[in-house]
Amino acid sequence: MVLVVIGILKFLQVVIFVDVIASWLSPDPTAFPRRFTRLIVEPLYAPIYAILGRSQLGGLDFSPMIMLFLLNYIVGTLNGLG
């Protein structure tokens, strides 16, 4: 069961990376693949936006980096359990 959760969390990490790279290549959030990735990552970013707001420091959105750190921490913790 732990391995399934770890697999899902790693999939989410990949989706975040794809969304970040796609945002550099095509800033339009309605274009493919961002339309798909935003459906997945926006709910993940919502708590971060609620705490930090949607303000971007120097045009950079730090919510993907924060979410990747959190997911990585959770995966590391789960690896210790499994």
Where exactly are the structural domains of the chain?
2-81
Residue 5's pLDDT is 96
pLDDT band of 65, cuts 50, 70, 90: very high
Q: Which amino acid is at 9?
A: L
Residue 32's pLDDT is 86
CA dist list (Å): 20 to 3, 5, 56, 79, 81: 26, 23, 14, 26, 30
Asked if residue 64 lies in contact with residue 41, where contact means CB atoms within 8 angstroms, the answer is yes
The pLDDT tens digits for 7-19 are 999 999 999 999 9
Q: Which residue blocks in the chain are alpha helix, DSSP H?
A: 2-25, 34-52, 63-81
The pLDDT tens digits for 28-49 are 888 888 999 999 999 999 999 8
pLDDT band of 56, cuts 50, 70, 90: low
Integer Cα distance of 43 and 49 in angstroms? 10
